[in-house]
């Protein structure tokens, strides 16, 4: 969408891209090669009548000898539960672990690379689709989240003209949630969310301090062995790669490097500055978030509750600009000069922010993985590991929660270990198109809002009573033309997001067709101001093609072929 249910959290910046996390009282330090673990051979473990748990891992020497996999019975029972290993204790990994750990047929282990969970970070937006899942899946957790939650969805939200400081378009987050009886969108401090999950998990499930570096599948039967950086190896029946944008599980699955050009992760073209502070805003309690647009950049101000605010400044820059761009008087002063002439609100909040309250990060995402694999037998990817997206829709974490919801359903349907691969493939099929659409729309939003939008063209009264034409360039005129269209676009988008949270079967055809048509219109108009159609059309089409099953007859697309050929045909026209 053209932006805007954006909540671009400082926490997410750091947690998503650096992998920081927060202190669980329940977390157990991972002690690779510990005496107990090393001494336990699978045979000895089986004498006790239980399978080795994923936490029972071999030491260095054991792994070098290429140990046989522990034999496991096919049937899943409470004596021999399904051993699920989750790589990564982020938003998605913890939601998955919490839900699975309630089931006595599941034996869950979460492997988190950070030594400890530090209490760090700002808020994350949880939109109605993710909240509805929390409510349905796990009411006690939902109630705890609500205790710490600040609603934005019941307030005024929208886009403001960054120069003239007036509303450009508002969007209604409230009605689409209200008519579906869904919780309103809002924000929670990311550390609070993580603590709620960590406290809800049985002791010892989360193991910190060693990172997953790869895995191998059992060539002769069930199971997967997870390789740790320390040399330890951990056996399980299922591995879910919830290890974020720089996923080691994905790298192993696709035989790609974790980082770099061949990793599939791409620099978005944008850097973001984020600030979080106590702030006495004139519209407190009335406005949730405001996106200030203008030429070549934009600024977001969000109420995050309890008198605290967060802001973001999005700039189109080369990667690494934090090192190359000089800011001798600090980030706030630098941004004040970049946003010279913009709304006094922007300057007011920038001036109120202290240097240590500001962070800068380059933004990375991935094109939708319509053509690439999500699963490898008993291994599957979740969240940013498979569909990292730009933060403009505030949906990255929400989509990770949707993944977790579907994985839980599919794994809980498995009666035997033979069912696991099929269950994970079904998970992928249920999630592919929806996540690709959201991912594509997020990229589309950033590209269009930064490259395509400008101060809207306007006819105003001049000082001597005559009329004045303000900003009558192509981008200014297009921005004006889009003004009445955008609220409709937002509404269609929210219907699409809120209707589809169950991920059952086909994407809602009406919403997605509307979304595709409107996006096409916007792309068409905006591409003129960008000057190069492909700049906008490429990412936009990839996003729209996430829903293209609808365009080709309303059938749910579970293979990528339709998407690929349609994409090739349309992009060939330009």
Ligand X SMILES: Cc1cc2nc3c(=O)[nH]c(=O)nc-3n(C[C@H](O)[C@H](O)[C@H](O)COP(=O)(O)OP(=O)(O)OC[C@H]3O[C@@H](n4cnc5c(N)ncnc54)[C@H](O)[C@@H]3O)c2cc1C
Residues forming the site for ligand X (CB under 6 A): 7-9, 12-13, 15-17, 19, 21, 87-93, 111-114, 124-125, 211-212, 242-244, 248, 272, 363, 383-385, 391, 394-398, 400
Roughly how many angstroms between the first and final C-alpha of the chain, as a whole number? Answer: 22
Report which of 361, 334, 342 is spatially closest to residue 270, judged by C-alpha positions.
361
Residue count of the chain: 574
Angle between helices 561-572 and 533-544 (to 10 degrees): 160
Cβ closer to ligand X: 231 or 244?
244
**Which residue is it, tokens 């030429």?**
295
Cβ closer to ligand X: 196 or 475?
196
Rounded distance between C-alpha atoms, residue 52 and residue 67, angstroms: 14
Please state the closest distance from residue 393 (CB atom) to ligand X, in A.
Answer: 8
Cβ closer to ligand X: 110 or 433?
110
Report CA torsion sign: 182, 188, 190, 193.
Answer: negative
Cβ closer to ligand X: 113 or 155?
113
Cβ closer to ligand X: 5 or 80?
5
Please state the closest distance from residue 130 (CB atom) to ligand X, in A.
Answer: 7
Please state the closest distance from residue 331 (CB atom) to ligand X, in A.
Answer: 16
Rounded distance between C-alpha atoms, residue 406 and residue 427, angstroms: 6
Rounded distance between C-alpha atoms, residue 237 and residue 54, angstroms: 9
CB 506 within 8 A of CB 554: yes
- Residue 185: in which H helix or E strand, if any? none
CB 225 within 8 A of CB 231: no
Please state the closest distance from residue 188 (CB atom) to ligand X, in A.
Answer: 10
Three-point CA angle 2, 185, 492, nearest 5°? 40
Angle between helices 485-499 and 420-447 (to 10 degrees): 170
Please state the closest distance from residue 212 (CB atom) to ligand X, in A.
Answer: 4
Please state the closest distance from residue 71 (CB atom) to ligand X, in A.
Answer: 27
Please state the closest distance from residue 516 (CB atom) to ligand X, in A.
Answer: 23
Cβ closer to ligand X: 76 or 111?
111
Cβ closer to ligand X: 273 or 567?
273
Cβ closer to ligand X: 169 or 300?
300
Tokens of 439: 């991912």
Q: Please tell me the number of Cα atoms within 13 Å of 523 on its side-chain side.
A: 24
Residue number, nearest CB to ligand X: 90
Please state the closest distance from residue 214 (CB atom) to ligand X, in A.
Answer: 9
């Amino acid at each position: 969408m053209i932006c805007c249910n954006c909540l671009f959290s400082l926490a997410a910046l750091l947690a998503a891209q650096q992998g920081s996390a927060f202190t669980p009282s329940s977390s157990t330090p991972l002690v690779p090669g510990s005496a107990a673990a090393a001494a336990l051979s699978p045979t000895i473990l089986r004498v006790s009548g239980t399978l080795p748990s994923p936490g029972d891992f071999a030491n260095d020497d054991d792994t070098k000898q290429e140990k046989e996999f522990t034999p496991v019975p096919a049937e899943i029972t409470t004596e021999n539960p399904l051993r699920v290993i989750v790589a990564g204790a982020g938003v998605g990994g913890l939601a998955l672990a919490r839900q699975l750990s309630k089931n006595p047929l599941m034996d869950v282990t979460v492997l988190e690379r950070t030594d400890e969970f530090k209490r760090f970070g700002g808020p994350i937006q949880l939109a109605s689709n993710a909240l509805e899942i929390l409510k349905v899946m796990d009411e006690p957790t939902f109630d705890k989240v609500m205790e710490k939650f600040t609603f934005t969805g019941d307030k005024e939200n929208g886009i403001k003209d960054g120069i003239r400081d007036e509303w450009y378009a508002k969007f209604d987050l409230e009605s689409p949630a209200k008519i579906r009886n869904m919780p309103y969108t809002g924000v929670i401090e990311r550390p609070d969310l993580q603590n709620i999950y960590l406290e809800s998990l049985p002791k010892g499930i989360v193991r910190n301090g060693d990172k997953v570096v790869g895995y191998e599948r059992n060539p002769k039967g069930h199971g997967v062995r997870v390789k740790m950086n320390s040399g330890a190896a951990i056996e399980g029946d299922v591995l879910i790669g919830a290890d974020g944008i720089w996923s080691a599980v994905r790298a192993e699955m696709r035989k790609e490097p974790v980082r770099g050009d061949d990793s599939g992760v791409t620099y978005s073209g944008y850097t973001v500055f984020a600030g979080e502070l106590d702030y006495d805003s004139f519209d407190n309690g009335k406005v949730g978030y405001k996106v200030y647009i203008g030429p070549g950049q934009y600024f977001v101000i969000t109420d995050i509750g309890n008198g605290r605010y967060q802001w973001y400044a999005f700039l189109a820059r080369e990667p690494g600009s934090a090192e190359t761009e000089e800011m001798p008087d600090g980030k706030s002063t630098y941004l004040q000069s970049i946003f010279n002439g913009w709304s006094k609100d922007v300057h007011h909040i920038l001036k109120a922010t202290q240097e240590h309250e500001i962070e800068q990060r380059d933004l990375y995402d991935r094109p939708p993985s319509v053509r690439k694999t999500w699963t490898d037998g008993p291994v599957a990817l979740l969240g940013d590991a498979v569909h990292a997206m730009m933060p403009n829709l505030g949906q990255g974490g929400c989509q990770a929660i949707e993944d977790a919801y579907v994985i839980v359903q599919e794994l809980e349907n498995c009666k035997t270990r033979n069912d696991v691969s099929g269950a994970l493939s079904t998970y992928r099929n249920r999630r592919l198109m929806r996540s690709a659409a959201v991912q594509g729309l997020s990229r589309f939003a950033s590209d269009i809002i930064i490259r395509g939008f400008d101060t809207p063209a306007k006819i105003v009264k001049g000082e001597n009573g005559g009329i004045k034409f303000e900003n009558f360039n192509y981008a200014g005129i297009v921005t004006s033309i889009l003004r009445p269209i955008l609220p409709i676009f937002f509404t269609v988008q929210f219907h699409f997001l809120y209707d589809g949270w169950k991920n059952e079967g086909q994407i809602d055809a009406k919403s997605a067709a509307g979304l595709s048509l409107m996006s096409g219109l916007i792309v068409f108009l905006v591409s003129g101001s960008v000057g190069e159609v492909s700049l906008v059309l490429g990412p936009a089409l990839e996003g729209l093609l996430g829903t293209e099953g609808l365009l080709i007859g309303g059938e749910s697309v579970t293979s990528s072929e339709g998407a690929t050929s349609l994409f090739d045909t349309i992009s060939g026209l330009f």
